[in-house]
Amino acid sequence: MAKIVHYTSLKNLSPEALADLYRSKGIDYPKFFKMDALCKAGFLLAEDIVEKCDNELVAHKDNTSVIVFTGNGTLRTDIGFERTIADPDNRFPSPSYFVYTLPNIVAGEIAIRHGFMGESAVYVAEHFLPTQIEGIVSDTLAVSDNVLVAWIDTVGDSTSAIMFFVSHDGNEDTPLFNAETLQSIYNQVF
């Protein structure tokens, strides 16, 4: 039976606040400043999960999966990229924007940073869908030891996100992983 071993969240953070949070953690990963807000949020949440759950994750890195759900995907980055090519007389597509016009980059950044070699996927959904999240993560747990699953949404200059570390392991105090628990935690955070 799957359990939520740990979860962490960010709420209504501006790009500057994401950078400040990164600096406050003392992380040395210069690529962070090239990432879009979706990746920065996922990166920071994963750092927190790994810090708190390192023992559980180290033993299963080869079979830890990363699944991200997002409401707006990379829309903010797409708009920025479009601005770099909008002027027909001055088209200079920006590679720094273009690389982050794919929402799946966030799952890759997390997997590469922490050496997770399980499945990875990103789903764009209109809003937080706990029943669908439960189904997809449960299917993934059939072939993975652990799953980091996140809901990340960037709207305007605000990013909110939550990440759950879901595992087959856990103690009697660890909440069960199901749609009701996901919704309850989501409601408490947001």
Rounded Cα–Cα distance for residues 164 and 146 (Å): 10
Residue 161: which of 58, 46, 26 has the closest Cα?
46
pLDDT at 81: 61
Q: Write the pLDDT tens digit of every residue in 2-37.
A: 999 999 999 999 989 999 999 999 999 988 988 888
Strands 158-167 and 3-13, by their bridges, are: antiparallel
pLDDT in tens, 132-184: 999 999 999 999 999 999 999 887 788 889 999 999 876 677 899 999 999 99
Please name the fold of domain 3-189: Peroxisomal Thiolase; Chain A, domain 1 (3.40.47)
Give the pLDDT score at 151: 95
Decide if pLDDT at 101 tops 60. Answer: no
Strand pairing category for 64-70 and 146-155 = parallel
HSE (side-chain half, CA atoms, 13 Å) at 32: 23
Whether 49 shows a pLDDT value over 60: the answer reads: yes
Q: How far is CA 35 from CA 65, 103, 132, 146, in A?
A: 21, 12, 28, 25
Give 135-140 contacts, CB < 8 A, sequence gap 24+.
Answer: 136/67, 137/2, 137/67, 137/166, 137/177, 138/2, 138/177, 140/65, 140/67
More confident residue, 126 or 19: 19
**pTM, full prediction:** 0.86
The CA-atom distances, in angstroms, between 20 and each of 39, 105, 173 are 15, 22, 33
